[in-house]
Chain A
Amino acid sequence: MRHSLLFPAAIVITVGCAGQSAREEVLVPAMRLASHGIEQDAYAGVETLPAEIQEANRTIVGRFFSIIREGDDAGIRLDAIGSWGRVRELAELGVSAKLEDEIVGDQVAALLLGRISDFDKALRAYITRSPALVD
């Protein structure tokens, strides 16, 4: 009798674990790997800003990628999410600058921008279930 009650209770306890494990064990490492290239793009974006605001933006970029690499759940949900919008703008700005300086070509730039967009989807998937990933 006691065992029959324990079974559904055990199921309830494990509900939600698979999704969170996939986030922590698969999604975060994939984001960590992709972060290196996006970080380079973001710092390239910082270089295009007026000198007086470069340091503040460099700090935002550094902090963001440090949280991603640590894979700290609270840090990603509470801190990284808030600064991603700015980091994304800087990364896109960096890709435009590389294109303008002919460091990359049109199609290469498109792939770099695609990675930023895919990172955005991954980050959204981390904080919430994202139907956009099933497209």
Chain B
Amino acid sequence: MPTKEQVLEEAGKQILMEISFRASELGANFDAGAEDVVRFISAKASELSLAVGEPGFDAAVIAARDSVLLKAAGRAVVEAESFDETLKETARSSLSIVAKLLPIMLM
């Protein structure tokens, strides 16, 4: 009979393996060092440790995995939007320079 710690460790390994696999499969740039995602994984691992021995534990492991993936994917969207914002700023600056230069260039 595995101990609670062994079950948790195994579940944690499975989740991290699943995340890495899914992230690469989805083409996501999953940054394992991303602080908020790591915090989230840690919180889910704690919740899982409380669920050890309860009926439906397997479903809880899958639910934790899904939650972490949704969180990591949400972060990817936020980062991509932040990139878009930077690009938008660059576009604004470039256009304003072109707008200033245009009358000179057309002279």
Interface of A toward B, CB cutoff 8 Å: 1, 4-5, 7-8, 11-12, 14-19, 21-23, 25-27, 29-31, 33-34, 37, 98, 102-108, 110-112, 114-115, 118-119, 121-122, 125-126, 129-130, 133-135
At the interface, is chain A mostly helix, strand, loop or mixed? helix
Find B55's partner among A7, A19, A102, A130 (CB 8 Å cutoff): A102
A-B contact pairs, 23 of them (CB 8 A): A8-B91, A15-B88, A22-B77, A22-B80, A25-B26, A26-B77, A27-B77, A37-B59, A37-B63, A37-B66, A98-B56, A103-B55, A108-B57, A111-B47, A111-B64, A111-B67, A112-B59, A115-B63, A115-B67, A118-B66, A118-B71, A134-B75, A135-B36
Please name all residues of chain A whose beta carbon is closer than 8 Å to the beta carbon of B94 when the two chains form the complex: 7-8, 11
Is B87 touching A133 in the complex (CB atoms < 8 A)?
A: no
- A11 with B77, Cβ < 8 A, contacts A5-B98, A121-B70 known: no
Q: Once the chains are docked, how many angstroms separate the CA of A103 from the CA of B95?
A: 61
The number of residue pairs between A and B whose CB atoms lie closer than 8 Å in the complex comes to 157
Is A106 touching B70 in the complex (CB atoms < 8 A)?
A: no
Is A11 touching B87 in the complex (CB atoms < 8 A)?
A: yes
**0/1 string, B19-31, CB within 8 A of A gives 1:** 0001001111000
Is A108 touching B73 in the complex (CB atoms < 8 A)?
A: no
Q: Once the chains are docked, how many angstroms separate the CA of A104 from the CA of B16?
A: 24
Interface of B toward A, CB cutoff 8 Å: 22, 25-28, 36, 44, 47-48, 50-51, 54-57, 59-60, 62-64, 66-67, 69-81, 83-84, 87-88, 90-91, 94-95, 97-98, 101, 105
